[in-house]
């Protein structure tokens, strides 16, 4: 789909259908002076908040698709949206582009009949000119990065194993400013990533460790060490399929577990956006990629793992595998002297119990970061809400034979999401750090008005955090 910013309607051809917003409930096409207009209910634009604006833009795309329109023109004036002015005009136009793209996305790879998308052109008719054009271009970059993330996450586990995820990272960043290294199983063993090995060794396709480096601000030299050139490290959970391991997931709980690499996909999408925006920031992406499979070689409950950091871990549950692979990746992250580490993971079903499906759960020990992520969540549309990461919770993941356990030994049903965060905190040393449990936003819900499957979140949030941190 192409988005065009134009200043006058006259340049539009006959095929283009104009969208007109009405306050009454309507959704039909009228013909005026030979030109077609689709009347759509918007309520009062003056009442739309940022949250409602996003959904409203998506509903325009849905109506256009429903009426099989190829080309639409929407007259938009920033002044008509007073409640959407808190983040400024650039935000407004970026949001239009982003949301048009997110709403037009469909995952069609496995449809045997390839029907090309109907909606091909969207014209935003506005007097805002250059500011709208620039911001909309940025929105296109971010929107396309989110949709690329959705493609990666939506790909079934059989077609997206650890090897293929590594190959995709290499393919997507070929010829860009992002340098990719995919460490194979031998290298993973040499690096003594005991967690990644334990989780991934049961699968035919062995684990990989994917490293992506983007030095948009220039590499820090020994003299600039400790300066602003120190990178932000993003760590994304890359479980390409989660069977639960030997403690296998029952029934439909295993369905959709090909999306257990959504955190990793979001890290790839974010780096893609940064490189296209040519952002002058240093960002590293790390993905511990493994398939949590069942076989004679799979890790067993009761196994004790020695992690890359030297910490020993009691495997009390083979289905709490995300935290195990992330422990090694978080330890690895420290070699970059990062000024901030953010991990993104579909870590716990308990996060859904806590907040439903409307927010990412965030955990951090720093109040300023908690506030930043909540505010930028609101601004980006990737909403976040905090849970505690207090020392009081340490007692629950004490080790039986090892140093720590991957779940509470009594298998408590309480605070499951926090236990995951506490486990991860063990592998972070004095570096500002935010854990995003994105399980609640792994898949879209009907009120999102997005295609079924992966949401591509929290790419928009991560881009904003990196821009502003």
Q: Is 319 in the site for Mn ion (CB under 5 A)?
A: yes
Q: Is 242 in the site for ligand BES (CB under 6 A)?
A: yes
> 319 or 382, CB closer to ligand BES?
319
> 260 or 314, CB closer to ligand BES?
260
| Residue 249: active-site member | yes
Stretch near ligand BES under the rule CB under 6 A, chosen from 11-19, 86-94, 312-320, 377-385: 312-320
CB-based burial label for 292 (10 Å; 0-12, 13-18, 19+):
buried
Binder to Zn ion among 202, 269, 288, 322 (CB under 5 A)? 322
Q: Is 99 in the site for ligand BES (CB under 6 A)?
A: no
Binders in 336-375 for ligand BES, by CB under 6 A: 346-350
Question: In angstroms, rounded to a whole number, what is the distance separating the alpha carbons of residues 447 and 59?
Answer: 11
- Residue 291 interaction partner, one of Zn ion, ligand BES, Mn ion, none, beta carbon < 5-8 Å per kind: none
| Residue 150: active-site member | no
Q: Is 291 in the site for Zn ion (CB under 5 A)?
A: no
Q: Is 455 in the site for ligand BES (CB under 6 A)?
A: no
> 245 or 285, CB closer to ligand BES?
245
Q: Is 458 in the site for ligand BES (CB under 6 A)?
A: no
Q: Which residue has the tokens 């409602």?
A: 52
> 271 or 347, CB closer to ligand BES?
347
Query: Residue number with the shortest CB distance to Zn ion?
Result: 242
Helix axes 50-66, 89-104, angle to 10 degrees: 40
Would you give the binding string for Mn ion spanning residues 238-257, x where CB under 5 A is met?
Answer: ----x---------------
CA dist 460 to 71, 121, 152, 163, 295, Å? 26, 23, 16, 27, 38
Q: Is 200 in the site for Zn ion (CB under 5 A)?
A: no
Stretch near Zn ion under the rule CB under 5 A, chosen from 162-170, 238-246, 323-331, 429-437: 238-246
Catalytic residue among 323, 441, 449, 460: 323
Stretch near Zn ion under the rule CB under 5 A, chosen from 44-52, 217-225, 252-260, 275-283: 252-260
> 131 or 254, CB closer to ligand BES?
254
- Residue 416 interaction partner, one of Zn ion, ligand BES, Mn ion, none, beta carbon < 5-8 Å per kind: ligand BES
For Zn ion, how many residues bind (rule: CB under 5 A)? Answer: 4
Residues of the shown chain interacting with ligand BES in the complex, contacts defined by CB under 6 A: 242, 260, 317, 319-322, 346-350, 407, 416, 439, 442
Residues of the shown chain interacting with Mn ion in the complex, contacts defined by CB under 5 A: 242, 319, 321
- Active site amino acids: 249, 323
Residues of the shown chain interacting with Zn ion in the complex, contacts defined by CB under 5 A: 239, 242, 260, 322
């Amino acid at each position: 789909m192409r988005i065009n910013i134009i200043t006058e309607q006259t340049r539009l051809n006959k095929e283009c259908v104009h969208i007109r917003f009405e306050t009454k409930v309507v959704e039909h096409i009228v013909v005026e002076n030979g030109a077609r207009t689709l009347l759509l209910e918007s309520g009062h634009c003056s009442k739309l908040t940022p949250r409602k604006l996003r959904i409203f833009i998506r509903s325009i795309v849905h109506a256009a698709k429903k009426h099989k329109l190829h080309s639409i023109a929407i007259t938009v004036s920033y002044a008509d949206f007073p409640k959407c002015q808190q983040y400024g005009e650039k935000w407004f136009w970026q949001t239009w582009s982003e949301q048009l793209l997110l709403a037009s996305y469909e995952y069609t790879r496995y449809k045997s009949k390839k029907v090309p998308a109907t909606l091909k052109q969207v014209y935003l008719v506005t007097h805002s000119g250059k500011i709208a054009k620039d911001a909309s271009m940025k929105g296109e970059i971010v929107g396309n990065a989110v949709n690329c993330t959705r493609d990666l996450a939506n790909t079934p586990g059989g077609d997206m194993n650890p090897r293929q995820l590594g190959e995709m990272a290499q393919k997507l960043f070929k010829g860009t400013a992002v340098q990719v290294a995919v460490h194979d199983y031998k290298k993973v063993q040499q690096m003594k990533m005991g967690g990644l090995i334990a989780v991934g060794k049961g699968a035919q396709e062995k684990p990989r460790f994917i490293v992506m480096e983007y030095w948009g601000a220039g590499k820090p030299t020994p003299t600039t060490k400790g300066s602003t050139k120190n990178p932000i490290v993003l760590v994304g959970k890359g479980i390409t399929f989660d069977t639960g391991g030997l403690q296998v997931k029952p029934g439909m709980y295993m369905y959709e577990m090909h999306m257990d690499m959504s955190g990793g996909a979001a890290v790839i999408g974010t780096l893609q956006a940064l490189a296209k925006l040519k952002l002058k920031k240093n960002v590293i992406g790390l993905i511990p990629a493994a398939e949590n499979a069942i076989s004679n070689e799979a890790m067993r409950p009761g196994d004790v793992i020695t992690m890359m950091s030297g910490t020993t871990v009691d495997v009390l549950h083979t289905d709490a595998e995300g935290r195990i692979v992330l422990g090694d990746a978080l330890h690895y992250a420290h070699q970059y002297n990062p000024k901030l580490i953010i991990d993104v993971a579909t870590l716990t079903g308990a996060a859904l119990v806590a907040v439903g499906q409307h927010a990412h759960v965030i955990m951090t020990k720093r109040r300023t970061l908690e506030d930043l992520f909540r505010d930028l969540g609101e601004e980006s549309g990737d909403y976040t809400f905090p849970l505690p990461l207090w020392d009081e919770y340490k007692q629950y993941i004490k080790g039986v034979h090892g140093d720590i356990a991957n779940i509470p030994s009594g298998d408590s049903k309480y605070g499951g999401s926090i236990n995951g965060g506490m486990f991860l905190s063990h592998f972070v040393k004095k570096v500002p750090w935010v854990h995003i449990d994105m399980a609640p936003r792994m898949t879209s819900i009907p009120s999102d008005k997005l295609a079924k499957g992966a949401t591509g979140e929290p790419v928009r949030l991560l881009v904003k955090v990196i821009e502003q941190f």
